[in-house]
Structure 1
Amino acid sequence: MTNIQDARSLADMWAMFRAGAIPPHAPNYQVDSMRDAFYGGAWAFSLLLSRAFARGDDAGSDVGEILDTMQEEINAHTMATVRAVQISAEEAERVLAIVKHGMPLTDAEEAYIRTLLARDDDDEPPNQVQ
């Protein structure tokens, strides 16, 4: 599976993540650790949403708040990761091509990724996709 829109299960998402983020000849312990982390993240996401839905009639706003908070956390993690990595403009374009291959991006998402990849190390990263 190569298109995120075709994914129907966590196993499908794991297979795409495995193919795109872990070297093909990575040792088994690395693959196992990454799979545990992947499913641990999915479990945490599921738990947060389940608790929000269980709160009652006004759960919709709780779910929205949880999703917003999680998006902020994901953006912060992305920024920290990008801050730690120095790559060339050519490598940045390759990264963007890989991301776009895995999932279609809105213009705003693509612009956000370009901003992250193109900034100078002293620049403060943007907070989120506009």
Structure 2
Amino acid sequence: MKIRVYYEDTDAAGIVYYANYLKFCERARSELFFEKGKTPQSEEGYFVVKHLEADYRYPAGLGDVLNVVTKLVEKRKASITLLQRVEKEGETLFEMRIRLAFLKEGKPVKIPDSLYSIVSAWESGE
């Protein structure tokens, strides 16, 4: 997913504020569901972040066009693990590994097949 860096995404020096890389990745995850006419949360349940590890390599700046690449690393009954990269012109600026648990009423539940079919698009690393 392509994202342009706007003034609101940066600090006073025009560099992307560190927490915004997490937001860019969240937008990319949500966008896949929106493209399929769904949302990441429904009456079946919702995804929450269980764990993440992040590596900041190079800064992005005001006006940059970034690409968020998402790859499905592991599927479990009630969770998925993704590798997400924020790239600029093919160079990785930020990378994170994130485990998302699927909950309903605050408790882990099996991810419905209808949602597994959506997140399976990430197997190819979109």
Per the normalisation by structure 1, the TM-score is 0.25
Higher strand share: 2
Higher helix share: 1
Per the normalisation by structure 2, the TM-score is 0.26
- Structure showing greater Rg: 1
